[in-house]
């Protein structure tokens, strides 16, 4: 490439094109100075959206994790999966959103080859962890409602530790190809470099397509299928349970059974909402990735970046919706959250009263 560019002199360029190399260089330099994909108003909108999602995601996930870990009443084995989901959502807020925003705004990749490999790898890993954890939570709730024989606590704890380890290991293995395909490439004209870009370079289009399909299945198809199947199986199970038919049983047992059915119905309603929110959040982003790789010329680069940005923002809303769905809609966690807020409010009021008393005492002394 360099030998060809050295032989390609100015006179040859002028004989082939209707502009000189100096004119082309001037245009390219202006292009580099601009260095942006979108206008100022679009950039401000994107920065505002990502800032809001990052801030809300960090605060909500830290709050839910703190409530679960600090309270024995809700620090059950199944809720540790919610903490695992909080960790993956925190990673989305810290590693995925900020660097994706940088790629969307600036043409040039300023972070070097090592981070070009590590950052996309960590992004993919956290997304796989999130999808896997959501699937395991759905399966666990399905088993808790349908299975009539309770599992002993120590076995349950070991099982959740095994689930968590397996989720992270599979997520890391599925993300490893990104480390070997991501690299920083120079984008330019002849020997003149316009900017550097962090891109994927695959050995062949077929290998890229295979990995894309595997990613699509692991991130979207499997979790969605698990959520839908568990929801309808639980719904079918609960429809066969009618506590009113047990008239020979005592009233206390019947009332307890009714409470259990109502609790399971609420849990299944949450599972239905999780399925709906998960599909709405991740379907557009997975589809645009699939479309862009299979049909790269389906739209202009600017339109593709705009569409990708919107779909990515929609996908990243899961970092804020997950703590709401798995935290606030969980009766036990919500109760502890309310107690925490009440405790904080009472503490704030007591501090204000103490400050007022001290101020009043000081004024009395001065008088």
**Are the CB atoms for 140 and 81 separated by under 8 Å?**
yes
What local confidence, expressed as pLDDT, does residue 20 receive?
57
Distance CA(179)–CA(246), nearest Å, equals 60
- The least confident of 269-273, 339-343, 344-348, 361-365 is 361-365
What integer is the mean pLDDT of 87-102? 90
By CB atoms closer than 10 A (0-12, 13-18, 19+), residue 301 is exposed
Identify the DSSP state of 199: E
Question: What is the maximum span of the chain, computed from C-alpha positions, in angstroms?
Answer: 102
Q: Is 366's pLDDT higher than 50?
A: no
pLDDT-derived band at 151, boundaries 50, 70, 90: low
Whether 124 is covered by a domain: the verdict is yes
Cβ contacts of residue 85 below 8 Å, gap of 6+? 130, 133, 134, 137, 322, 326
What local confidence, expressed as pLDDT, does residue 150 receive?
54
Distance CA(288)–CA(276), nearest Å, equals 19
CATH number of the domain encompassing residue 144: 1.20.1070.10
Cβ contacts of residue 172 below 8 Å, gap of 6+? 125
Q: Is 345's pLDDT higher than 80?
A: no
Identify any residues that bridge with 192 across adjacent strands, giving them in sequence order: 189
What integer is the mean pLDDT of 102-110? 81
Whether 106 is covered by a domain: the verdict is yes
Identify any residues that bridge with 36 across adjacent strands, giving them in sequence order: 106
Domain of residue 86 covers 37-341
Whether 188 is covered by a domain: the verdict is yes
Identify the DSSP state of 36: B
- Could you give the number of structural domains in the chain? 1
Tokens of 286: 């997975």
Alpha carbons within 13 angstroms on the beta-carbon side of residue 257 total 15
Whether 70 is covered by a domain: the verdict is yes
Cβ contacts of residue 2 below 8 Å, gap of 6+? 191
Whether 153 is covered by a domain: the verdict is yes
Q: Which of 126, 115, 52 is nearest to 90 (CA)?
A: 126
For the stretch 119-135, pLDDT in tens is 899 989 999 999 999 99
Q: Is 113's pLDDT higher than 50?
A: yes
pLDDT-derived band at 36, boundaries 50, 70, 90: low
Secondary structure class of 250 (helix, strand, coil): coil
Whether 277 is covered by a domain: the verdict is yes
Identify the DSSP state of 245: G
Q: Tell how many helices (H) and how many strands (E) occur in the chain.
A: 14, 2
What integer is the mean pLDDT of 284-303? 83
What local confidence, expressed as pLDDT, does residue 31 receive?
54
- The least confident of 79-83, 184-188, 285-289 is 184-188
Q: Which of 220, 228, 198 is nearest to 114 (CA)?
A: 198
What integer is the mean pLDDT of 210-233? 90
Whether 363 is covered by a domain: the verdict is no
Mean of all residue pLDDT scores within the chain: 78
Whether 14 is covered by a domain: the verdict is no
- What is the chain's length? 367
């380890």: which residue's tokens?
A: 165
Identify any residues that bridge with 184 across adjacent strands, giving them in sequence order: 198
pLDDT-derived band at 365, boundaries 50, 70, 90: very low
Identify the DSSP state of 111: S
């Amino acid at each position: 490439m360099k030998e060809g560019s050295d032989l390609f002199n100015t006179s040859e360029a002028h004989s082939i094109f209707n502009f000189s190399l100096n004119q082309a260089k001037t245009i390219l330099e202006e292009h580099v100075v601009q260095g942006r994909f979108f206008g100022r108003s679009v950039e401000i909108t994107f920065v505002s959206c990502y800032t809001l999602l990052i801030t809300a995601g960090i605060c909500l996930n830290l709050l839910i994790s703190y409530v679960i870990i600090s309270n024995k009443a809700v620090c059950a084995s199944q809720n540790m999966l919610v903490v695992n989901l909080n960790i993956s959502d925190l990673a989305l807020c810290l590693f995925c959103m900020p660097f994706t925003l940088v790629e969307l705004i600036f043409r040039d990749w300023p972070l070097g080859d090592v981070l070009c490999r590590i950052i996309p790898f960590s992004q993919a890993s956290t997304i796989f962890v999130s999808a896997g954890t959501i699937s395991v939570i759905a399966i666990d709730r399905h088993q808790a409602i349908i299975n009539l024989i309770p599992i002993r606590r120590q076995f349950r704890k070991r099982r959740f530790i095994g689930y968590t380890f397996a989720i992270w290991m599979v997520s890391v293995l599925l993300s490893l190809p990104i480390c070997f395909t991501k690299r920083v490439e120079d984008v330019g004209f002849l020997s003149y470099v316009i900017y550097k870009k962090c891109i994927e370079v695959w050995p062949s289009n077929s290998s890229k397509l295979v990995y894309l399909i595997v990613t699509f299945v692991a991130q979207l198809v499997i979790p969605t299928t698990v959520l839908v199947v568990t929801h309808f199986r639980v719904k079918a199970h609960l429809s066969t349970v009618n506590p009113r038919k047990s008239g020979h049983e005592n009233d206390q047992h019947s009332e307890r059974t009714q409470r259990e059915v109502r609790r399971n119905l609420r849990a299944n309603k949450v599972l239905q909402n999780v399925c709906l929110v998960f599909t709405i959040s991740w379907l557009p982003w997975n589809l645009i990735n699939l479309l862009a790789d299979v049909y790269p010329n389906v739209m202009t680069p600017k339109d593709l970046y705009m569409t990708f940005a919107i779909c990515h923002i929609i996908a990243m809303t899961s970092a804020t919706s997950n703590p709401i769905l798995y935290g606030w809609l969980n009766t036990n966690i919500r109760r502890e959250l309310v107690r925490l807020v009440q405790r904080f409010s009472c503490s704030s009021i007591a501090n204000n009263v103490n400050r007022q008393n001290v101020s009043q005492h000081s004024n009395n002394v001065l008088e």
